[in-house]
């Protein structure tokens, strides 16, 4: 990939050093740069720290290593050192359910520009439905405390908990229902302290494309008049006429004009019921970004980044096999537990490995600091507004340290 080299065993090129000093977990101020080290056979945390003149306790802390600090061959570690200044800013958002751990939220908010609370629904008549997975009220003052914007995420979930395009069809084609939903949104935002709305509608019928665009315009204009912002989540298209229920209902150019900014949902190539593959392969992500830039200004585009991986039992059988969702730290621990070497796909720029348990072979794809560095590089290459994480329910410290190293994170 442009500007990036494949990562082999040993030390990757030093990432351009960025950020100001931060407070060490062990106490005291220290200057940082970020370097990626890929574990070789025979390595230990002590030998790596000695070779890189790094603080072993910081190495353990930054990478969330568990005692007795075993490592997997091929594991990518983030190593701290000295730093220069960041050369650009980024807006950073993250989706979270109301049942997120307060500790995880508190740890994450310093790195966020926006917290997108997931999610509010609505009825066919435009009545607003609050989140059914917990009370969101506590999240809003906590978000404000860290200088981030609390954002209300609006989704068309039906009674079964799945996206329902008949809900969309009902509201976007009825002026009274649209007005009702907009009014309810404004009332709720004013009452609770939200600063914007994120419209995450999926599986929009092709026949509702223009009506959906008109709905977004109406929401965005109403929000702007009230001092709020509007964003739209976009399925990862690579052309204007791309076929499929995920794509046909979304007009990139028109939605980019209507909204204040957009999120490209550049993840889920590898998904729960699909065959094993990278969740966000960089070659595919790049195609989406390059198309989006033909329709929407870079200053309005946020790159979607997954904060999770999948573990598939093999052999894969379509319609039968179901992958387990795992977090990125958990993925490495699975590799360590089973003595699996982690490999890195140079095309997808993503880590993966296989292991066997109870006679069943498994294949795991996840994100690490190498794959994240590649995505941050794409943001820099195309001068995108920023990035958005689906989702921040699990704490992955190395991701946030690396992000902070590469960018100044915008705060209100």
Strand order across the beta sheet in which 343-345 lies: 324-326, 309-313, 360-365, 350-357, 343-345
- Is there a catalytic annotation at residue 202? yes
Name the maximum alpha-carbon separation found in the chain.
68
| Residue 254 CA neighbour count, 13 Å, CB half | 14
CA-based torsion, 103, 108, 109, 115: positive or negative: negative
Q: How close are the terminal C-alpha atoms of the chain, in Å?
A: 34
In angstroms, the CA 397 to CA 411 distance is 20
Which of the following is catalytic: 202, 248, 295, 367?
202
In angstroms, the CA 393 to CA 247 distance is 27
Among 234, 312, 245, smallest CA distance to 267 is for: 234
Q: What angle do CA 158, 162, 165 make, to 5 degrees?
A: 65
Catalytic residues: 202
């Amino acid at each position: 990939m442009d500007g990036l080299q494949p990562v082999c065993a040993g030390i990757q090129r030093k990432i351009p050093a960025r950020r100001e000093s931060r407070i060490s977990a062990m106490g005291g101020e220290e200057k940082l740069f970020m370097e990626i080290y890929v574990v070789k056979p025979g390595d230990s945390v002590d030998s790596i720290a000695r070779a890189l003149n790094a603080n072993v306790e910081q190495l353990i802390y930054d990478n969330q290593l568990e005692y007795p600090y075993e490592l997997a061959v091929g594991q990518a570690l983030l190593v701290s050192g000295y730093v220069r200044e960041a050369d650009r800013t980024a807006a950073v958002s993250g989706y979270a359910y109301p049942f997120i751990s307060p500790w995880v939220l508190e740890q994450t908010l310093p790195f966020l520009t926006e917290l997108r609370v997931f999610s509010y629904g609505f009825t066919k008549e435009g009545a607003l439905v609050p989140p059914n997975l917990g009370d969101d009220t506590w999240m809003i003052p906590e978000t404000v405390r860290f200088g981030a914007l609390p954002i209300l995420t609006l989704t068309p979930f039906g009674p079964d908990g799945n996206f329902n395009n008949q809900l969309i069809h009902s509201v976007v084609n009825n002026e009274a229902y649209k007005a009702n939903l907009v009014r309810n949104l404004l009332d709720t935002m004013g009452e609770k302290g939200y600063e914007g709305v994120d419209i995450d509608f999926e599986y929009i019928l092709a026949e509702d494309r223009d009506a959906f665009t008109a709905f977004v315009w109406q929401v965005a204009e109403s929000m702007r008049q009230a001092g709020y912002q509007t964003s739209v989540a976009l399925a990862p298209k690579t052309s204007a006429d791309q076929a499929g229920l995920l794509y046909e209902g979304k007009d990139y150019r028109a939605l980019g004009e209507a909204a204040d900014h957009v999120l490209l949902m550049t993840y889920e190539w590898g998904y729960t019921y699909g065959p094993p593959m990278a969740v966000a392969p960089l070659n595919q992500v790049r195609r989406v970004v390059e198309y989006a830039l033909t329709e929407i200004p870079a200053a309005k585009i946020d790159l979607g980044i997954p904060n999770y991986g999948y573990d598939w039992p093999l052999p894969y059988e379509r319609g039968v096999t179901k992958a387990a969702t795992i977090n990125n730290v958990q993925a490495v621990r699975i590799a360590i537990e089973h003595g699996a070497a982690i490999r890195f796909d140079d095309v997808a720029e993503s880590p993966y490995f296989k292991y066997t348990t109870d006679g069943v072979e498994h294949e795991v794809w996840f994100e690490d600091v190498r794959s994240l560095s590649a995505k941050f590089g794409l943001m820099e290459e195309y001068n995108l507004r920023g990035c958005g994480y689906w989702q921040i329910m699990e704490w992955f410290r190395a991701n946030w340290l690396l992000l902070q190293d590469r960018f100044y994170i915008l705060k209100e």
